[in-house]
Structure 1
Amino acid sequence: MGAFEIGFEGAEMIPWRSKKCTNLFAFLLINHGRLVSRPRLEQLLWPEPERPAGPTALKVLVHSLRRALDAAFGAERDFLRIGSGEGGYRLELGERVRADIHEFERLCRAASEASRHGAVDAALDCYSRAVDLYQGDFMDGRGEEWVLEQREWLRAKMMHALGRLLRHANDVDDAVTAIQHARRMLELDPTEERAFQAMILVHGRRAELDQVNYWYELCVGRLARELDASPQEETRRLLHRARNGDLSEPRGIGRSRRPRRRRRASTAVDEQCTAI
């Protein structure tokens, strides 16, 4: 997640300069334990119109990667070993190796499984830990096709996790947490409508109509500019309820139903909104 880093836990990261070696290692890491064919690796590492200098180009690159791993972790290590055979290469990790993408996907699977069994608290805990692991997009700064594909796959899982956490925060009226999740969603996708809906709900519950209008208009503008689209019916319905005062705290008998103007939000909510 984020820029590529490799090293021992709690120590400085090991310098890694070769782009081709990094790409080879990262792809083998994604497919760890599985044999990846030589033609597949050549297609990924030397896409058209760029081609290998010759039939030994991949062998030379694998040799360079092995030497880099030997220099970083020792030739006698029992982890991060590259095996070959049957027309391809395989990366064996070892029990002590931790990769953030693998842990992230494991937590997402565990959360989904817990949800299916009705274990809401366990699911929320796994989603929260997965979100904390997501420190940036996969191999940030790289633009190869296979990198972009993996990046979108992981980002979709991140958005799903954030969506579940955001829904729970809304259900329990935890404004600060809802804003935090909405902010991260908008960082990943500036047009994510669920995040705008959350902001309208947070401020609508507090009758902060100027903030309600701000987030709705921002949503309208971004959707039109980026997607040539309009807000969903759910977003428009939420706006109407907020403007009508239907989201704010229950009123006493005889009080006017006229929506109140913005009142001062809590300091924590103000700080979160300012950060967004």
Structure 2
Amino acid sequence: MRAILVDDEQLALLQLKRIFEHDINGVDVVETCSNPYDVVEMVTRHQPDVVFLDIHMPEVDGLKLGERIQSSMPNIEIVFVTAYDRYAVRAFELYAIDYIMKPVNSDRLKLTMQRLREKIKIKGESQPKEVAKPFLFCFNQIRYQLPGEEPQTIKWRTSKARELFAFLLHNRGRAVDRSLLTELLWPNLEVPRAQQQLYTTIYHIRQTLKKIGMDMITINSVDLETGYRLSVGEAQVDVEEWENELKQLAAPSLELVEEYERIFQQFEGNYLGDYEYLWAEYERERLRLLWLNHAKSLGKLYIEHGMTEKAVQVYRTVQQQLPDEEETYFTLIELYDSLGDKGGVEEQYWLLSSRSEKEWE
């Protein structure tokens, strides 16, 4: 595993690197960095598995730097290092794999590395497989995958084209009124101008789909007055396939635990989560609740069979995806207590306390 360590204090960098060299096996510290302005370039050059990032630096906010790293290289994991527990909640909201309080000790770092290795293993197992049919991804951002190729993002001509496609895909199989589309995307334009923008954008979407080999997805006029209907043809849509598989699951049991775990891990993020489309929020929440109920079923199964560490992994994943789900903090406190993990109990207590304080601010 390759790691980059970032801290503006040289002594803290040396101490953390020394712990890796003497107490942690299987980690190659490819670079240490004390200048936060060099981090993004360094990460891009080395492509590490994980970045250990100090939060409190004089000139740069470590949390904002973490956001920049995640937006440019979403597959790289981040572990925040901080002397202030008040940053913990924000760290988890950024989907950090963990956060560590200073001064860092080897036992706490070993726990972090255990979580990190488990997550990297799961990510490797859940990488998109070769598909037999064209595939559309809607978790987080819209991507596509052709048979025999890797998933790719779609380069839209404009952000309006992307949103129009997303809205038609969201309503696939149904006729969408032209006036609804123009009101959604061009509310400030006069009707003739808005309609012209709509026609032009539909044309560009069709051209984009043809260019990337996804022209089995069609957008047809219903009639001159009504609107448009999108059909995905033979293409499959990830959220649709995921929900169908979820609904077909039998009651949780050890015989089905691998299926439950696979479907749990396939929920990679919110529906169209990278885009601030208010019209998608109901579907986001619906899918989140489906996944949360599934996660609770899986966690309960592990607890009932004494697989406490597996249950911890499930609830920590829920906590990272849904940091406002307060029940997970209490459940993790109980689980860590049953394992005799005092540090884990304290960590969850501080996270819960920080959330409460934040709500009262």
TM-score bucket (shorter structure): 0.5 to 0.7
The code of the aligned residue for 2:312 comes to: I
Q: Match for residue 164 of structure 2?
A: 24
Q: Match for residue 263 of structure 1?
A: none
Q: Match for residue 67 of structure 1?
A: 207
The code of the aligned residue for 2:262 comes to: R
State the secondary structure of the residue aligned to 1:82: strand
Pick from 300, 313, 322 the counterpart of residue 180 of structure 1: 313
1:238-272 Cα distance to aligned partner (Å, 9 max, x none): xxxxxxxxxxxxxxxxxxxxxxxxxxxxxxxxxxx
CA 1:19–1:190: 2 relative to 1, 3 Å: same
The code of the aligned residue for 1:21 comes to: A
The code of the aligned residue for 1:5 comes to: R
CA distance in 2, matches of 1:21, 1:132: 30
1:108-134 Cα distance to aligned partner (Å, 9 max, x none): 3224xx34xxx6568755543332222
CA 1:126–1:107: 2 relative to 1, 3 Å: farther
Pick from 88, 106, 120 the counterpart of residue 227 of structure 2: 88
Contact 2:142 2:154 in 1 (8 A): no
CA distance in 1, matches of 2:303, 2:244: 26
CA 1:42–1:127: 2 relative to 1, 3 Å: farther
- Residue 65 of structure 1 deviates from its aligned partner by 1.0
CA distance in 2, matches of 1:207, 1:14: 45
CA distance in 1, matches of 2:278, 2:165: 16
Pick from 209, 212, 217 the counterpart of residue 345 of structure 2: 212
Q: Match for residue 141 of structure 1?
A: 274
CA distance in 2, matches of 1:151, 1:212: 31
The code of the aligned residue for 1:105 comes to: E
Instruction: Determine if the alignment matches structure 1 residue 194 to structure 2 residue 334.
Output: no
Q: Give unmatched runs, 5+ long, in structure 1.
A: 229-276
State the secondary structure of the residue aligned to 2:212: helix
CA distance in 2, matches of 1:107, 1:184: 20
Q: Match for residue 240 of structure 2?
A: 102
- Residue 160 of structure 1 deviates from its aligned partner by 2.0
Q: Match for residue 36 of structure 1?
A: 176
- Residue 14 of structure 1 deviates from its aligned partner by 5.7
Q: Match for residue 152 of structure 1?
A: 285
- Residue 58 of structure 1 deviates from its aligned partner by 1.5
CA 1:23–1:121: 2 relative to 1, 3 Å: farther
The aligned runs of 1:241-256 (5 Å cut-off) are: none
Structure 1 or 2, whichever has the larger Rg, is 1
The code of the aligned residue for 1:109 comes to: K
CA distance in 1, matches of 2:267, 2:148: 19
- Residue 80 of structure 1 deviates from its aligned partner by 0.9
CA 1:224–1:23: 2 relative to 1, 3 Å: same
TM value normalised by structure 2: 0.53
- Residue 85 of structure 1 deviates from its aligned partner by 1.0
Q: Give unmatched runs, 5+ long, in structure 2.
A: 1-138
- Residue 103 of structure 1 deviates from its aligned partner by 1.4
CA 1:219–1:81: 2 relative to 1, 3 Å: same
- Residue 158 of structure 1 deviates from its aligned partner by 2.1
CA 1:58–1:164: 2 relative to 1, 3 Å: same
- Residue 202 of structure 1 deviates from its aligned partner by 1.9
The number of equivalent residue pairs is 218
CA distance in 2, matches of 1:210, 1:132: 26
The aligned runs of 1:258-269 (5 Å cut-off) are: none
CA distance in 2, matches of 1:202, 1:167: 11
1:2-60 Cα distance to aligned partner (Å, 9 max, x none): 222123144252641332222122222222222222222223323x4577733322222
Contact 2:308 2:339 in 1 (8 A): no
What is the percentage of aligned positions where both structures have the same residue? 25
Contact 1:170 1:198 in 2 (8 A): no
CA 1:173–1:196: 2 relative to 1, 3 Å: farther
State the secondary structure of the residue aligned to 1:73: coil
CA distance in 1, matches of 2:260, 2:228: 33
RMSD value, Cα: 2.9
Q: Match for residue 336 of structure 2?
A: 203
- Residue 213 of structure 1 deviates from its aligned partner by 4.1
- Residue 184 of structure 1 deviates from its aligned partner by 1.4
Pick from 138, 143, 146 the counterpart of residue 5 of structure 1: 143
CA distance in 1, matches of 2:257, 2:246: 10
The code of the aligned residue for 2:217 comes to: L
